[in-house]
Structure 1
C-alpha cells in the first residue's frame, strides 16, 4: 500500500470589507485648521493624524507610533515632520521614521501608513484607497468659489452622532427649511413643499433644482440684501459622493431670471464635505461664500453666523432622528414622499459603488 502526501494550501481570506466607497477623495478639513499642532481625526474607521510641516507640506499618517502605539497626534510638529510625544521618534510625511533619539540606526520597518492629502481651494482632501499605498486615480475636486473676487467665505465643522447618509438626505431635500429654519433661511413652508423641482442624474452625481418665485424673503436674505416684500428664490443642489454644493439665493422681482446662470442678486454658495468617521458618526466640514450689495455693509460675518445657527438646528433634528431609528429598530420603516427623489438617487449611487467594490474585493480574494 502506498501513501501520498497532499499539499493543502491555506485559503486566502478576502480583504476586510469597508462599509464606505474607497478609492475616493474625502474632505479632511480646511487648510486653515493646520497651524503648529497635529490634529487627530478618524476617517472611514481609520485613525489619522493631520499636520503641516515647517516647509508648508500637508501630511496625513496613521495616528500610531510604531514603537509603543502612542497616538502621534499627542506629539509635536517640527520642520521635517511629527515627533512622537513618548520617546521622540520623528516621522516624515512619507510615514518613515527619520530620527530615533539616542540611536543612529533606524530600522526599515520603523514606519507607519501614510495617506495622500492635498490642499486645493483652502480645502484638505484625503485619498482613501482600496489597496494600501495605491495612488489616486483622479485629481482632487476643484471649488473655485473660495477664491473668486465675487465672494467672501467663512468655514467651520461639526461632529455628528449619526451616519453620513442622513446628512445627504437632509441636504438634498431643502423642503425642510420652512419647518426647521424659520429664524434664518426658511420662509413659507407650504411654498417650500410645493416648489417646482427638477432632479437629474449623471454618473455618480445627482442634481436637484428648486425654483420659488413670488417668495417672501427669509430673515437671512433681508439682513444681507435690500429686498422688499417679495423675491424670486432658487436652490440648486449638486450631490457628489464626498461632498455637496448648494447654490441658493434670490433676485428682486422684475430683474434677472432665477434660472439664468449669470443672474445677479443675493447668493449663498455652500460647500458641505460629509466624511464618515465610523459607521454611526461623521464629520461635517462646511463653508459658505456670499456676495454683498454695493449699498449695504459687509455681510459675510452675519451670513456665517446665521449659517452656523441653521446647522445647529439641523444637527439637533438629525441626531434625534438617528436616536429614534436605533430605539425603534426594524419598526422604523420609512414612507417616501415627493421630496425624497434626490436623496433616494444618492443612496442608490452609494449602494452601487459598494456593490462594485464588493465584487472587486471578491475577485481579488
Structure 2
C-alpha cells in the first residue's frame, strides 16, 4: 500500500471527567451542637468523614478510616484530646497523626489518616473541599450573625434526603409552592403565592429572589406566633449561595410599613439552609430557623421551630417522591414556568463552577 493510501490511527484519550460537585468551597458539615462527647460519621461529597471536638473545644475532621485495619473511626471514642479507634485503640490527633498505639512504643511514620480543613463559625461547622489547585482554603467560611447577634432566638436540625441536592435548591428558590404544599403551616392563599411580584438578581455566584405579597391572610404559623390585627403585607427574600441558602420571610400588618425597609418590624423568620451533597443521589440538609418573639419568647420560639419542622417534613415527602418519579420515567423533558427563574440561575452557577474546576 502506498503511503498516500495509508490511514493513520490515533488513540484519542477521553476528556477528564468533571467533578460531580463544585470544589474550592466551604460546605456545611454539621451544626455546632451535634459535636459533643461522641464522634459523628458523615459522608460528604462522596467522602466518608468523621467529625469530632477536641478537649479544648475545637472541631476536627478526618477520613473515616483507621489506617491499621480500616474500621470507621466514627465507631471509636474521644479520649485524651483525640479520637481513639474502637478496634485496637490507636489514638489520632486533630491532624490525623497517630500519637499512641497501646502496647507499642514506636509509632510508624505511616500511622496517620488524611485530615480535612474544618472551622466552626456562628455555631455552623464548615468543611473545605478544595480542588487540586486549591487544597488549602482560599477564604474564611461564611459568617452568619443571625446566630450570634442576640437579636433572634433560634434552633435547628439535620435532615437526610434520598434525592440529589439540587432538587432541594430548586425547592427553596421557588416559594410559590407554599400555597399547595404547606397548607397547614406557612402556606396561605395559593393564587397570591403564584401571582406574587417577584424580582431576581444575580451577582457573582449569588442569586437573590424577592417576592412581595401585600394584603394576605396570615398563614397558621404566622397567626400562632404573632398578634397580627388582620391582613398582612408579607415578604420572602431568598439568597442562594453555592453551599447554602439564606431565606428571610415575615410580615407586618397591612399598610403599616414598607417592605423595602431593611429595618422593618413585624414577624420575622430567618432561615439558614446548608445543603450538602452526601452522594450523587443523596443529600444532607442542615437547617436553622430564627425568630423575634415580642412576648412569650420560649413558647413562640418552640412553636416556630415545631411549625418549621412540619414544613420541612412536607417538603421532604414532595422532593423524594419527585426524584423517585424522575428515576422511574428516565430522561424525560420538563418545562419551565415563570417561578423557575431563580432556580435555573442557581443551576447555571453550579454547572459553571463544575466546568471551571475541571479546567
Q: Shorter-chain-normalised TM-score: which range?
A: over 0.9
Per the alignment, residue 163 of structure 2 pairs with 162
Distance 1:76 1:193 in 2: 51
In structure 2, the partner of 1:32 is 33
Q: Judging changes above 3 Å, is the alpha-carbon distance between structure 1 residues 250 and 90 closer, same or farther for their aligned structure 2 residues?
A: same
Structure-1 residue corresponding to 2:42: 41
Q: Deviations over 1:324-354 (max 9, x none)?
A: 00000022x1100000000000000000000
3-state DSSP of counterpart to 2:208? strand
User: Are 1:288 and 1:304, in contact at CA under 8 Å, matched by a contact in 2?
Assistant: yes
1:9-88 maps to which residues of 2 (within 5 A)?
17-88=18-89
Q: TM-score, normalised by structure 1?
A: 0.92
Relative to structure 2, which stretch is displaced further, 127-136 or 108-117?
127-136
Deviations 1:245-265 (A, max 9, x none): 000000012321111101000
SS at match of 2:106: coil
Aligned residues: 348
- In the alignment, structure 2 segments of 5+ residues that lack a partner are 1-12
Name the SS for the 1:323 alignment partner. Answer: helix
| Deviation, structure 1 residue 288 | 0.1
In 2, Cα distance between equivalents of 1:191 and 1:132? 48
Give the match's secondary structure for 2:358. helix
Spell out structure 1 runs of 4+ moving beyond 6 A. Answer: 12-16
Q: Compared with structure 1, are the counterparts of its residues 96 and 145 closer, same or farther at alpha carbon in structure 2 (3 Å cutoff)?
A: same
Q: C-alpha offsets along residues 27-80 of structure 1, whole Å, 9 cap, x if unaligned?
A: 011110111111000000000000001111210000000001000001001132
- Render the CA deviation track for 1:281-337: whole Å, top value 9, x for unaligned: 000000000001248874100000000000000000000000000000022x11000
In structure 2, what is the equivalent of residue 261 of structure 1?
Answer: 262
Q: Secondary structure at the match of 2:285?
A: strand
Which residue of structure 1 aligns with residue 175 of structure 2? 174
- SS class of match (1:278): coil
SS of the residue corresponding to residue 183 of structure 2 reads coil
* Post-superposition CA distance 1:110-166 (Å, at most 9, x none): 111100111100000000121399210011000000122221001101000000000
Going from structure 1 to structure 2, the CA distance change for 1:131 and 1:68 (only over 3 Å counts) comes to: same
What is the rounded CA distance, in whole Å, between the counterparts of 1:129 and 1:239 in structure 2? 20
Decide whether aligned partners of structure 1 residues 15 and 64 sit closer, same or farther in structure 2, where only a CA change above 3 A counts.
farther
Aligned CA distance change for structure 1 residues 166 and 180 (closer, same or farther; 3 Å): same
1:146 equivalent in alignment to 2:152 = no
After superposition, the CA RMSD in angstroms is 1.8
Tell me, yes or no, if structure 1 residue 213 matches structure 2 residue 214: yes
Cα-to-partner distance string for 1:216-264 (whole Å, 9 max, x where unaligned): 0000000111113300000000000000000000001232111110100
Alpha carbons 1:55, 1:79 under 8 Å: kept: no
**Residue in 2 that maps onto 1:201:** 202
SS of 1:330's partner is coil
Query: Is the Cα contact below 8 Å between 2:18 and 2:355 reproduced in 1?
Result: no
SS in 2 for 1:267: strand
Do 2:193 and 2:213's aligned partners in 1 also have CA atoms closer than 8 Å? yes
Q: Which whole-Å CA distance do the structure 1 matches of 2:217 and 2:15 have between them?
A: 57
- Distance in 2 (CA, whole Å) between partners of 1:18 and 1:75 is 31
What residue number does 1:317 align with? 318
Match in the other structure for 1:356: 356
- The CA distance in 1 between the partners of 2:18 and 2:197, in whole Å, is 41
Cα distance in 2 between the residues matched to 1:339 and 1:175: 7
Distance 2:180 2:172 in 1: 14
Distance, in Å, in 1 between the alignment partners of 2:357 and 2:131 is 9
Paired residues of 2:24 and 2:134 also in contact (CA < 8 A): no
2:4 corresponds to: none
Please give the per-residue CA displacement for 1:178-225, whole angstroms capped at 9, x wherever unaligned.
000001100000000000000000000000000000000000000111
